[in-house]
Amino acid sequence: MEDGFVSNYLLDEVTIGDSFTSTSPEGLFYYNPLFHKNDLVFLAGGSGITPFMSMIREVTDRGFERKITLIYGSRDADDIIFKEELEDRAQRHGNFIFTPVISEPPPSYSGHTGFITAEFMGDLLGDIKDKMFYLCGPEEMYTFCLSELDKLGVRKKKIRQEVFGPPGDVTEEPGWPSGIKGDATFEVTVRGGTSIPARADEPLMISLERAGITIPTSCRSGECSLCRTKLLSGEVFQPRGAKVRKSDRQFGYIHACTAYPLKDLELLL
């Protein structure tokens, strides 16, 4: 990732023999047998297939009765990750359907083409009443597919989505103040600690980590609230998708993983 925090470090600084400490896998993007019933639709884009593979393998390897329909959007058919395995599992298991959708197909391609539209899903899936939808892919895919699911009349509680992280360019997000440029720098003071500089277009958590200040985190996309931080003074921008509780907004708490400084800040960690 250009100008990335972690990827640049891994590529430029890490050497053979270095060791790291990591948290365990966490998240809310999984099948819940108590609430999600047994008719599942997976909408994947690119590397967004990754979390679906564990669920597909579990169902097919263990002979569970759940039905899975995987709709996999890809720019090119050759870029479909796990293609041969997916085709093999779909051929061997009647409760798993694999449907690739190619947006830029070659002239000879005979499969489904275009985008994952409401019309396409309606024709493929039929009655959606008892189906649970899972969505994982690039940011552009979320924006498009969520609106298409809305056209189908899919209720929000029937949609589970895995968010990859903060927006690529937060200054392009709806509601970003026009008078503040991304490279603007503000002072962030930690009560009882130190002060650090923070760019407007970088998540506050990363600015803190650059300065050696770490706070608990598990998602980095504004959903889990583990990085919940008290904002004592100043103002931050939190983009759409940052699921900050109404009570937290009322009492001045933010999610540092998707909070962008708009003024000098004072925090209580």
Residue range 112-129, pLDDT digits in tens? 999 999 999 999 999 998
Residue 164's pLDDT band (cuts 50, 70, 90):
low
Q: Is the pLDDT of residue 220 over 80?
A: no
Residues whose CB falls within 8 Å of the CB of residue 68, separated by 6 or more in sequence, listed in order: 40, 41, 42, 55, 56, 59, 95, 96, 97
Q: Check residue 161 and give its pLDDT.
A: 87
Question: Average per-residue pLDDT in the chain?
Answer: 91
Question: Per residue in 79-114, is it b (16+ CB within 10 Å) or e — as a string?
Answer: ebebbeebeebbeebebbbbbbbbeebeeeeeebee
> Mean of the pLDDT values across residues 30-46?
92
Percentage of the chain lying above the pLDDT 90 cut: 66
> Mean of the pLDDT values across residues 22-31?
80
pTM value?
A: 0.77
Show the domains of the chain with their CATH numbers: 39-162 (3.40.50.80), 170-268 (3.10.20.30)
Q: Check residue 54 and give its pLDDT.
A: 93
Q: Is the pLDDT of residue 189 over 90?
A: yes
